[in-house]
Amino acid sequence: MSRNVSTPAFVERRATERKPTALLAFAQHRDGSRYPCQVKNISDRGAMLEFLGSQVVQLEDAFDLVLASAEMRYAVQLIWRKERTVGVLFCLDAE
């Protein structure tokens, strides 16, 4: 006798909806160094970025994400990294 138990393949842990994008951007460190990337998806709390080659290894734990087309700048914190992809959390200014 077999039981048909459905288990979810993926559990969504994000509190806000992600929107797929193809925005061009770059990560900018305090010393002015820049690493081009593409914003693969974005929400009001964070984003997933994809870098070329080994640039993801050179990222600091905190940097500015600058959107090329809109010239918008966001302070972000690196949350996770896997191969050429990283997840970042937008930092809110405590002023």
Phi, psi of 56 (to 5 degrees): -60, -30
- As a whole number of angstroms, the distance between CA 93 and CA 21 comes to 25
Domain spans of the chain, in order of start = 19-90
State both tokens at 9.
């393949």
19-90: CATH topology? Thrombin, subunit H (2.40.10)
Token digits of residue 61: 């734990």
β-partners of residue 80 are 87
Which residues lie below 8 Å from residue 77, measured CB to CB, with a gap of 6+? Answer: 61, 62, 88, 89, 91
Residue 28 bridge partners (DSSP)? 34, 64
Mean pLDDT, the chain, whole residue set = 84
Task: Look at residue 58 and give its three-state secondary structure.
Answer: helix
pLDDT at 63: 97
pLDDT tens string 1-43: 545 554 445 444 556 788 999 999 999 999 999 999 999 999 9
